[in-house]
Chains A and B, each alone.
Chain A
């Protein structure tokens, strides 16, 4: 089945630094990718929709200047948390749509756990 990979799977950084998380679709082309954030014991919260070659669409309340999303190719989207602070510590998950099928499945990455000290 389709595979979505995230890197790194976990990262620890100092407050004020920026962190980049990569999301790759390994065996299919994804015109659309989604980024989610999940705090402990809570559900996934959609942050933004990323379309290849265009600007991301952010959900209400998500700061686009803080969470930079780039979708430069059909197999790669990146999320950069700029000037990270401890409240940005969370589990970040990406997902990708398989445009080549009509099953409508959305595949998720393994997640990236960010800890900001």
Chain B
């Protein structure tokens, strides 16, 4: 079973920052937080992952709380192309399997 809880859907205005929350209260010390997104009828796309520290790449930022029980994915300037289902996943990296939860369906509003 997935070890994460996410809101089923969120709206964000185009050009604004999209902040997607994720709860993973049972995460273990050696489990990473991964984020993927899936645009309709395509395979999931890797976004970012982290263990303890906040991470940033060209796509997004990942903020992990100090107790690691929750995290937030930030898309700094959302565009219509960011409309997708976003999955937050915990994984014993790098070899463990990835179990998907239900994700958050992000709607970007023009």
Chain A residues with CB under 8 Å of chain B are 4, 6, 32, 34, 36, 43-46, 49, 91, 93, 95, 97, 102-111, 113
Contact = CB atoms under 8 A, between A and B. Distances in A.
A91 B44 CA distance: 12
Nearest to A1: B46
A45 B101 CA distance: 9
Contacts, number: 55
Interface residues of B, number: 23
B100 A34 contact: no
Given A4-B43, A6-B43, A104-B93, 17 more contacts: A32-B95, A34-B97, A43-B87, A44-B38, A46-B97, A46-B98, A102-B94, A103-B94, A104-B91, A105-B46, A106-B34, A107-B46, A108-B36, A108-B45, A109-B43, A110-B42, A113-B41
Nearest to B46: A105
Interface of B: 32, 34, 36, 38, 41-46, 49, 87, 91, 93-95, 97-103
Chain B at the A interface: SS class: loop
A93 B99 contact: no
| A32, A45, A103, A108 — most chain B CB neighbours (10 Å) | A108
B46 A91 contact: no
A91 B100 contact: no
A106 B46 contact: yes
Contacts of B43: 4, 6, 93, 95, 108-111
Nearest to A108: B43
A87 B80 CA distance: 34
B93 to A, nearest CB: 4
Contacts of A91: 41
Contacts of B93: 104
A108 B94 contact: no
B94 A104 contact: yes
Given A102-B94, A104-B93, A111-B41, A46 B46 contact: no
